[in-house]
Amino acid sequence: MAGFFDSIAEFFQGLFSPNPEALKAKRLLREQVEVLQNLNPPVYSARTEQVLPGFAQSWGSIHTQLQPLRDLFAKTLSHEDRKLQDLSLQFLVEQVLSGEISDRRLALSYESIKERLERSDDATKEMATVTAEFNSLLQDLRKQDSERVQKSFEGLYRLKALVDHSLVPLLQRFGYDASLSSQKYHAVEGVSLAAELLDLYFVVEGLDLGPEVEQLLGFLLERLSAQKAPENRKKTAVLLDRLRVLFRGPCSPPILMQLIRVVQTSPTVPLETQKFADRYVQNYSATLAERFARDRERALREQSESTLERDIAELFPGTPLLPLTHYTAETSTQLVDMGLPPLNAIKPLQILRSFCFSVLKAGYLDAVKKVVLNGIFNDKDWAKKLNDILFTAEQTLARLETFDASLETDTKIGLPALEKYLTGKAPVSSVPKALVEKLNRTAMTVLEDEAKVLTALAGRVQEILGDHKTSQPQYVSNIRIVGGKDQRFLVETLINGYNKTAQLLRILKHFIVVK
């Protein structure tokens, strides 16, 4: 009858009250209090304005029930190692989606890419095939990134958020003692719990313990131990049933919301809830793309390095590369030790210097010179260009050594300009770094210029050799006899020099753009 008389009283108050909204709020608060008091056990007392032990008992039960899930998440999605977290999510996505995602991912790993490139006769074509396969995998992932899949992962991560949220500080307000096997809770002033209740509501609102979440938990159990997974799935199903009962009853988000509004005496106050902006399949795809790009680059780089070493060994069989005097690995180490950039053209300059001695000065340029001196030319302009490029090629080694020597003497970009930094007399700054970068650019320019010279020379030699094959030479009319009694040796030397130059230019393409 009290409720009836209260309603009559409110009716007459509403007729004469200047603030009907306040009366409406009062009515809502009373209704919310009645809901809380009618729970079994009740969680709030309007008379004392306290949150009752029944509230702590229910949430204490959830705290206990969540322990197996804490252990599960701690070994998977909440692991302290971010890499293991990512691998756990990867496993879940691959289990949920169709299309043999896991097998296709493994087929596109670094080890698989490397093996395929090694087996292939055409690495470029094989890499194009690998990239197409990966793009197809990404397309399949995008097609399966449905709202249903997204919601199931959101449900799992909402549960994870609750598991990661410690209920102990809240329970301790009611007298919780972790050292005791049986808890004895007491009532707590409601308004003093507002902050803890708001944090708890933020976590639990929207919690879904449906079959999709149960399935994902089963996959996590399988990841930890496929052998024990069936038994652990059954235990987890029982655990989830207990939690569902609690979250439908005294621990339900609507009840928690009403409790917050009652202790804050604000029956319609909006409450913040947790948002999940991540797209889980999309994040998995992005991680996969980053990993593939990294693995692809590594495989290509290692294959390129392997090809480079084979080409160098073939060009200079059994012969070590000839170092320069100043632009060396030792100088580079000295720069790096001082916090400066390394010298980045050491190896290609060594290759060029070795080529000068083993090819240019080992008969190749002499053979070209014999053609220049003894040839009868149909085109005087062509003959002049041959003579000019021969002269320029003869100076290749000199230009290379001049550049190297400049490191010892050049006060602008050489070692003298860096001496005060290398000796510690001046602090390392952007100035010496810029000097080293300029020095490296100069080294690369030397390489590019000499590659142009050797490319041009190879073009003339190719035309000479073309004349030798035809009965009507276009450039050197007496090419078949220009070498006299050593004609055969001359032609063989030109062919060998041309082939060696082609090998050199192929090697230099690893370092510069050869035009």
Residue 377, helix vs strand vs coil: strand
- State the pLDDT at residue 323: 94
- State the pLDDT at residue 362: 95
- State the pLDDT at residue 144: 94
113-150 confidence digits (pLDDT tens): 999 998 988 888 999 999 999 999 999 999 999 999 99
- State the pLDDT at residue 407: 87
Cα-Cα-Cα-Cα torsion 366, 369, 374, 376, nearest 10 degrees, comes to 140
Name the token pair of 302: 């290692």
Q: How confident is the model at residue 250 (pLDDT cuts 50, 70, 90)?
A: confident
Q: Is the per-residue pLDDT at 90 higher than 70?
A: yes
Rounded CA separation 6/278 (Å): 49
Q: How confident is the model at residue 1 (pLDDT cuts 50, 70, 90)?
A: very low
Average predicted confidence (pLDDT) for the chain: 90
Helix (H) or strand (E) holding 114: helix 110-119
Q: Is the per-residue pLDDT at 13 higher than 60?
A: no
Type of residue found at 155: G
Cα R_g (the chain), whole angstroms? 40
274 contacts 202 by C-beta, under 8 angstroms: yes
312-356 confidence digits (pLDDT tens): 999 999 999 999 999 999 988 988 887 888 999 999 999 999 999
465-487 confidence digits (pLDDT tens): 999 999 999 999 999 999 889 99
Q: How confident is the model over 70-89, as a mean pLDDT?
A: 93
Q: How confident is the model at residue 18 (pLDDT cuts 50, 70, 90)?
A: low
- State the pLDDT at residue 416: 82
Does the N-terminal peptide bond of residue 41 adopt cis geometry, omega within 30 degrees of 0?
yes
261-301 confidence digits (pLDDT tens): 888 888 777 888 888 888 999 999 998 999 999 999 999 88
186-244 confidence digits (pLDDT tens): 999 999 999 999 999 999 999 999 999 999 999 999 999 999 999 999 999 999 999 99
Rounded CA separation 506/509 (Å): 5
The better pLDDT of the pair 118, 427 is held by: 118
Q: Is the entire prediction scored with pTM above 0.75?
A: no
Q: How confident is the model at residue 173 (pLDDT cuts 50, 70, 90)?
A: very high
